Amino acid sequence: MSNPQLITLEQAPGLAALFRERVSRSPEATAYIQYDPEENQWHEYSWRQTANQVIRWQQAMRTSGLHKGDRVVIMCHNAWEWVICDQACLGLGLVLVPVFMNDRADNIAWIVNDCEASLLVIEGADQWQTLESTVEKLTSVHTIVAIKALDAQHDKLRRLQDWLPQGKGELAEEECAPDELATIVYTSGTTGKPKGVMLSHHNILWNVHAALQFFDIRADNTFLSFLPLSHTFERTVGYYLAMVCGCATAYNRSIPQLADDLAMVKPTLMVSVPRIFERIYGRIMDKLNTESAIKKKLFRAAIDIGWKKFERQQGRGGWSPGLLLHPLLDALVGAKVRGRLGGRLRFTVCGGAALSPDVAKLFIGLGIPVTQGYGLTETSPVIAANPLENNVPASVGLPLPGVEVRISEQGELLTRSPSVMLGYWNRPEATAEMIDQDGWLHTGDKASIGDTGHIFITGRLKEIIVLATGEKIPPTDMENAITLSPLIEQAMVIGEGKPYLSCLAVPNPQAFDELCKSLGLHPGDESNYSNPVVVDEMLRQVQEQLSSFPGYARIHRLAILHQPMSPENGLLTPTLKLRRNRILLYYSDEVAGLYSGH
């Protein structure tokens, strides 16, 4: 490894030791870059400044009566304060439990109570408004700290500026041993309630160092962080890995401002999910449709020749005369697109869901190396990745060095490594289902391994929808809940590779006629099935049926089907199970309509 700033696993076997070593080695180097809306400008924070704030948080946590092993829940966007809270916890041997910012109050309350958190850190007024109705149910929580100013009053509520002491001191060194619990990350479960994945310091740091055997990352790189730090992918790769390498990390203001932040921050590295690339791809294609025929031709030629150059560099393609045009086409097309992404991207790692081959070809062809990876929260998370010099975009890559993989008799991908979780919090039965007696973790994904060792995901053992955001959602329990409504006979939840969930619903004929009458419509009119008023009311009832599910299990759009699905029309199996692929094909127009404009 050519990075002299790199901190080895031997030098820092725990996450708190890693932070202390980084502060010691490069105290004045830029650690974090963040926008301040009140001052309308970006601020840079050094490792020393970060450590000084961590010390204050640790003193406040001690004063609040927190002890080693206690759980701290954080509900905050990616921010400098998120890192400070995490490092304060790690140095005191506390266990940080991140929650998703847009989750519902009852789901967050369930997580807080399940892990018996003592302290809850929220961002500000919006989060307080979400949680206020459930605060009395959070019996284990004795203190709620709001990072941003808010006017609310409550016995448990503290404002950060009041909670933090002014005193100086040293970073705490009371952390857990490397193999002890560092964090609990809640992930979607098949029962509608999330499971708490227990990850140790060694789980995470071993994963970081295994990934760094594939990627040479110097200290002069800048990450742009926009995936939620509540997701292990961003936390391991975009936060802890950056710290190991001594890189700076800039925090994106919001996804709608991502294009502006890319141009301003000019990052060299990004961790992303397919949805981000799909959005950029969509914008590029929309703009291309307005261009002249000659510009369209130049654009497509730039991608095709750029792709041929990539394949040749990878050793999979030969030389062709068209490659002579690459410098010209790149200057006309590729350089401009790269400029909109800041102009300095060395590469970006994409994970969480499958990336469309067309999308991958566009970015790679335009000189933006996209490398796919694969993993699970339960594996800290990276199992496989494509090295830049051995990149097969259709695959999820090679197993990281030290990660064992094999295919079971059922075609399931199994993995074993020091990154495999300690287990699920208070769920020994679920842990035993996931990790067998020989230590093999069962991913639930069907896969094949090619001659070159690259892994190809081919399907799923259990029906799980993976959204474009990377969120994994088991649809069967949702469908069962939806069809408990007297209005709905059949339902299929869809959204694979899409930005949100939708539903194909077959109504109960009698109940549907009654609904139409109540809305002042004539029963039996074919137009009722597509009438926005009827669709909205049916969607509202579907959402009501799912009110006890986690926040990510939300149906955004719905299509009402005219005919029931049955074995006779080939849409159900003889045992009345949904033939999902056939249904998607049969109703392809309806499905397309549910995602038009997105």
Listing DSSP states for 227-268 in one string gives S-TTSHHHHIIIIIHHHHHT-EEEE-S-GGGHHHHHHHH--S
Within a domain: 134? yes
What's phi and psi for 125, nearest 5 deg? -60, -40
pLDDT (tens place) for every residue of the chain, 598 residues total: 478 999 999 999 999 999 999 999 999 999 999 999 999 999 999 999 999 999 999 999 999 999 999 999 999 999 999 999 999 999 999 999 999 887 778 889 999 999 999 999 999 999 999 999 999 999 999 999 999 989 999 999 999 999 999 878 999 999 999 999 999 999 864 345 789 999 999 999 999 999 999 999 999 999 999 999 998 999 999 999 999 999 999 999 998 899 999 999 999 999 998 878 887 887 888 788 889 999 999 999 999 999 999 999 999 999 999 999 999 999 999 999 999 999 999 999 998 777 888 889 999 999 999 999 999 999 999 999 999 999 999 999 999 999 999 999 999 999 999 999 999 999 999 999 999 999 999 999 889 999 999 999 987 777 788 898 888 888 887 888 898 788 998 999 999 999 999 999 999 998 999 999 999 999 989 999 999 999 999 999 999 999 888 887 899 999 999 999 987 787 886 556 788 888 999 999 999 999 987 5
- Please give the full DSSP string across 3-15, using - where no structure is assigned: -TTPPPTTT-SSH
Q: How far apart are CA 212 and CA 206, in angstroms?
A: 10
Within a domain: 167? yes
Within a domain: 310? no
What are the angstrom distances between the C-alpha of 48 and each of 30, 59, 78, 167, 273? 9, 17, 20, 16, 32
Sign of CA dihedral 51, 246, 1, 360: positive
pLDDT at position 189: 46
Q: How far apart are CA 264 and CA 341, in angstroms?
A: 9
Kindly report each contact of residues 296-302 with a partner whose C-beta sits within 8 Å and lies 24 or more positions away, as own/partner: 298/329, 298/332, 298/333, 299/333, 301/325, 301/329, 302/329, 302/330, 302/332, 302/333, 302/334, 302/365, 302/366
Name the percent of the chain in helix, strand, coil, to the closest 5. 40, 20, 40
pLDDT at position 167: 76
Within a domain: 107? yes
Asked if 425 and 115 count as a contact pair (C-beta separation under 8 A), the reply is yes
pLDDT at position 190: 37
* Domain harbouring 145, CATH code: 3.40.50.980
Beta strands in 263-333 (DSSP E): 269-272
How many domains are there within the chain? 2
Calculate ∠ Cα 171-177-181, nearest 5°.
100
Within a domain: 160? yes
Within a domain: 87? yes
Within a domain: 415? no
Grouping H, G, I as helix, E, B as strand and the rest as coil, residue 288 is helix
Residues contacting 392, CB < 8 A, separation 6+: 386, 450, 452, 454
Q: How far apart are CA 4 and CA 21, in angstroms?
A: 14
Per the DSSP assignment, residues forming a β-bridge with 392 are: none
pLDDT at position 573: 67
Asked if 583 and 491 count as a contact pair (C-beta separation under 8 A), the reply is no
Boundary of a domain, candidates 147, 176, 205: 176
pLDDT digits (tens, 9 = 90+) for 329-351: 999 999 999 999 999 999 999 98
Boundary of a domain, candidates 146, 176, 206: 176
Asked if 550 and 188 count as a contact pair (C-beta separation under 8 A), the reply is yes
Q: How far apart are CA 159 and CA 180, in angstroms?
A: 31
pLDDT at position 460: 74
Kindly report each contact of residues 425-432 with a partner whose C-beta sits within 8 Å and lies 24 or more positions away, as own/partner: 425/114, 425/115, 425/184, 425/195, 425/196, 425/197, 425/198, 426/114, 426/196, 427/195, 427/196, 430/189, 430/195
Q: 331: which 2 tokens?
A: 């200057």
Q: How far apart are CA 42 and CA 33, in angstroms?
A: 7
What is the residue range of 582's domain? 474-594
Grouping H, G, I as helix, E, B as strand and the rest as coil, residue 409 is coil
Residue 537 CB: number of other CB atoms within 10 A? 16
Q: How far apart are CA 90 and CA 84, in angstroms?
A: 10
* Domain harbouring 574, CATH code: 3.30.300.30
- Please give the full DSSP string across 543-574, using - where no structure is assigned: HHHTTTS-TT--EEEEEE-SS---TTTTSB-T
Helices and strands (H, E) in the chain, number of each type: 21, 26
Q: How far apart are CA 164 and CA 13, in angstroms?
A: 29
Within a domain: 320? no
Grouping H, G, I as helix, E, B as strand and the rest as coil, residue 315 is coil
pLDDT digits (tens, 9 = 90+) for 246-277: 999 999 999 889 999 999 999 999 999 887 88
511 secondary structure, DSSP code: H
Buried b (16+ CB within 10 A) or exposed e, 35-70: beeeeeeeeebbbebbbbbbbbbbbbbeebebeeeb
Boundary of a domain, candidates 148, 176, 204: 176
Sign of CA dihedral 554, 560, 565, 571: negative
Asked if 413 and 446 count as a contact pair (C-beta separation under 8 A), the reply is yes
What are the angstrom distances between the C-alpha of 453 and each of 138, 219, 397? 48, 30, 8
pLDDT at position 598: 59
